[in-house]
Amino acid sequence: MSRLIEATEALAIIRAALNEHGPTPPTSAANLSLDRKEISMMAAIFQPRDRDRMYVADKRHIAALADAIGKNANKPRYLDRIVVWWGGDRWYVIDGHHRLDAYATRAVREAIPCHAFSGTLDDAMAFSGLANSKDRLPMSKTDKLNYAWRLELLTDLSKVKIAQASSCATRTVANMRTVKAALLSNPENSIADLLEQGWKRCDAMARGVTFDTSNYDHEAEVSRRAAIYRDRLYKALGNKPHTDPEAFALALLRSDEQLPSSLMQTAAWRDAFHDVVIALRDEQVAEVSSVAAAYLDGAAKHDDY
């Protein structure tokens, strides 16, 4: 499954497979080796982190894991076992997404060491959150809250189990349960809507906080954040970006190889690039005009002579 799907659709797919094929895996072995094509990802269900927001950290983590694997795809140094769960018709990775990406980076496609998790779909989702909260790449507070909210909306797990899986307080999960009941009492709200909104916004909605966007000034808000980033950059680097632009540009590229492309798609950089191109063109035109004028002037003097 290569396309990204939403949590409710993902859950429906897995439940349908379990209903049709049953939950019994093709092997009872706890430890097994699987080829890459036998392992599926369902990030909407089994990945607690927001991987778009954590893109740079993810890339660095995957690169470090790939280095540990080595460059010989035929004789890789295997990492800790990836934890997989049988979802009726396929194995899903529930802990080890970065390790799986690292194997792909090194073109390791066969005999990947795995451990089969035994339990229900709800149990697998809870284990995924618990395992990720203990991983070397830490989950942010927002990720933990949103994952707890996801478990509350999509599973029948107890408050204690959700709290353990997400590393949130039990009283926080209890509050989520109250908020869910309040919001779903409105027929205009659905589980999918609440998932899309995220915990913080749903909590605010339940408390009667309204989101009036009629006076929202997007450009002013972007400008406000830009001023904060500018001040932080200056505090950290001073005028180094101006005095050493080559190294600064390389540092940005090394931090995230997709950053140049992302920056060039922003309005600010498009406008700046346009201005630079116009300025260079004007300089070239002026230079050509100057050369032409000098040539014509010289030719005129030669004719006079």
- pLDDT of res. 57: 53
- Is residue 182 domain-shared with residue 298, that is, in the same domain? no
- Interatomic CA distance for residues 304 and 287, integer angstroms: 26
User: Do both 76 and 113 map to the same domain?
Assistant: yes
Does 1 reside within a domain? no
Bridge-partner residues for 82, per DSSP?
A: 114
DSSP 138: P
Residue 188 carries which DSSP code?
A: T
Q: What is the pTM of this model?
A: 0.61
What is the reported pLDDT for 305?
39
Do 97 and 166 fall within a single domain?
Answer: yes
Same domain, residue pair 298 and 242: no
- Last residue of some domain: 163, 182, 206? 206
Q: What residues form DSSP beta bridges with 117?
A: 85
> For a pLDDT cut of 70, what percent of the chain falls above it?
81
Tell me the residue range of the domain where 93 lies: 7-206
Residue 2 pLDDT exceeds 60: no
CA angle 201, 130, 15 (to 5 degrees): 75
pLDDT tens per residue across span 275-298: 777 766 766 666 656 655 565 565
Domain count, the chain: 3
User: Based on the domain organization, do 174 and 229 belong to the same domain?
Assistant: no
Same domain, 115 and 174: yes
Q: What is the pLDDT of residues 219-275, one digit of tens each?
A: 777 787 888 888 788 788 888 888 888 898 888 888 777 778 778 778 788 777 777
Q: Is residue 38 very low, low, confident or very high in pLDDT (cuts 50, 70, 90)?
A: very high
Tokens of 111: 């005999």
